[in-house]
Structure 1
Amino acid sequence: MAKREQAKHKIDRRLGVNLWGRPKSPLNNREYGPGQHGQRRRKPSDYGIQLMAKQKLKGYYGNIGEKQFRKYYAEAVRRRGDTGENLVGILESRLDAVIYRMKFVPTVFAARQFVSHGHVKVNGKRVNVPSYLVREGDVVEVKEKSRELPMVLEAVQSAERDLPDYMEVDHSAMKGTFLRLPKLEDVPYPVQMEPNLVIEYYSR
C-alpha cells in the first residue's frame, strides 16, 4: 500500500469520519481512532471541536500545511462577506481541488501529484503548482498527451462523485470552466464541514 494511501486512511480514522466518502475507507469497518488508545474517546472541549473542524477541512484538501492554511484564513478575512464562506471559496479554487471536482482524477492526493507532474493547463498554459488559485471563467484542461492515462479514464467514468454546478466540464474534450466561487452549501462534501468553527479557532 502506498504511503499516501496509508496517510489518507489514518486521517479518516483519526478524525472519526469517512472524509472523502469512499467505499474503501477503514472507518467502514473500524469506527475508532488509530493506535492503542483509539477506542477511548472523551467528550471534546470547545477548543477540541474547533481544532477537529480545522483538521477536517485541512485534511479534506490533501492535508494542506498549517502555514498555507493560515494564509488562506488571512485572505478569507481580507475579502468582503462571510469569512467562513470565503475560506471555502478559496480552498475550492485551488487547482488540485478543481481538477478533483472536475473528475479528471480519483482523489485529492492524486490531483496534487497530477498537477505537480505537469499534466494540467490553465487558459492554455501549463501550470504545475497545486495551490494555484483558479479564477472565475478560467478554462482548465488535461494536456493532450495525458488524456489517455488509465487513472484519468477511470476517474472520468466513475459514478462515485457528481459534478458540482459551479463548474462546466466536457469530458470528451478533457476540459472544463470554473464558473464561479461556490458557497458552502454548493460544495458536495461527503461529511459536514464547519468553516465557522475554523474561523473561531484562528480568531481566538
Structure 2
Amino acid sequence: MSKRHSAKHKLDRRMGENIWGRPKSPVNKREYGPGQHGQRRKGKMSDYGLQLRAKQKLKGYYGDVTEKQFKKAYEEASRMKGDTSQNLIGLLEQRLDMIVYRAKFAPTVWSARQLVSHGHVRVNGVKCNIASRRVRPGDIVSLGDKAKQMTLVMEAQSLAEREIPDYVAPDGNDKVTFTRVPTLDEVPYPVKMEPNLVVEFYSR
C-alpha cells in the first residue's frame, strides 16, 4: 500500500491539480510540475496530449485502476445506450471501493480498496472483498463489526473537505444505500474531469 499511497501526491504534482481536494496535497504549495524543469513554461499541448492527460487524471482519481480494467469500463460504456462519457463515469462510480469512499467509510480511495480487500465491507449483508465489484441501485453497503471501531473509519467520517453525495443515502454511520447511477455533474470531483476526452483517446 505504501507505493500507491505516495503515488497519489506524485499524480497531483504531475497534473498540477489537487485531484482529490485533500488539504495536504503538495499542489497547495507548489502548482508547478515536479523535477528540475518543473517551473519551465510549458508549450501548447497536442490533442493527443490533452486526451492522454484527461485519461491519466480520471484513471488516477479512481485509485489508479489498472489499464485493463479502465479500458474494459470504456468498452462497456461504449456498448451501452446514451452518451459514452456519462456511461463511463456511471460505471466507475458503481465500483464497490468508490461507494465505500463516497460513504466516508475511508479517507482515501486506496484505503477504501484496502478496507474491501480485507473483508470489512458487506453488500446486502454478504461479505465482499472484490473492490471492482459493481454495486447496483438499491444495494446496501455496510461495514463489518470490526471496521466500525477502526481509527481509519472514524477519521474518514470526521473529514470536513467532502460530503456524501445525493446518490449514496446514509443510514446511520455504518450503512449506505446506493440509490441511483449518477451523471457527471452529480459526481463531487474537486477538479474538472473530461471523460469526453477519454472517449476520444480510446476511439482514435
RMSD of the alignment, in Å?
Answer: 1.3
2:111 is matched with 110
2:170 is matched with 169
Give the TM-score of the pair, scaled to structure 2.
Answer: 0.96
AA aligned opposite 2:36: Q
2:36 is matched with 36
Give the TM-score of the pair, scaled to structure 1.
Answer: 0.96
SS of the residue corresponding to residue 134 of structure 2 reads coil
Does 2:82 correspond to 1:81?
A: yes
Any unmatched runs of 5+ in structure 1? none
SS of the residue corresponding to residue 27 of structure 1 reads helix
Q: Distance in 2 between matches of 1:42 and 1:59?
A: 24
Q: Distance in 1 between matches of 2:70 and 2:39?
A: 29
AA aligned opposite 1:53: A
Q: Distance in 2 between matches of 1:50 and 1:92?
A: 21
The farther-off stretch of 29-38 and 93-102 is 29-38
Q: Distance in 1 between matches of 2:101 and 2:87?
A: 20
Q: Contact 1:100/1:106 (CA < 8 Å) preserved in 2?
A: yes
Q: Contact 1:156/1:171 (CA < 8 Å) preserved in 2?
A: no
AA aligned opposite 1:150: T
How many residues matched?
A: 203
2:150 is matched with 149
1:20 is matched with 20
1:61 is matched with 62
Q: Distance in 1 between matches of 2:158 and 2:20?
A: 18
Q: Distance in 2 between matches of 1:53 and 1:73?
A: 14
Q: Distance in 2 between matches of 1:4 and 1:202?
A: 25
SS of the residue corresponding to residue 141 of structure 1 reads strand
AA aligned opposite 1:60: Y
AA aligned opposite 2:104: K
SS of the residue corresponding to residue 74 of structure 1 reads helix
1:189 is matched with 189
Residue 37 of structure 1, CA deviation = 2.6
Residue 181 of structure 1, CA deviation = 0.3
SS of the residue corresponding to residue 48 of structure 2 reads helix
Q: Distance in 1 between matches of 2:65 and 2:4?
A: 13
SS of the residue corresponding to residue 17 of structure 1 reads coil
Identical amino acids, percent of aligned pairs: 62
1:71 is matched with 72
Residue 200 of structure 1, CA deviation = 0.5
AA aligned opposite 1:192: K
The farther-off stretch of 51-60 and 31-40 is 31-40
Any unmatched runs of 5+ in structure 2? none
Residue 151 of structure 1, CA deviation = 0.8
Q: Distance in 2 between matches of 1:39 and 1:97?
A: 34
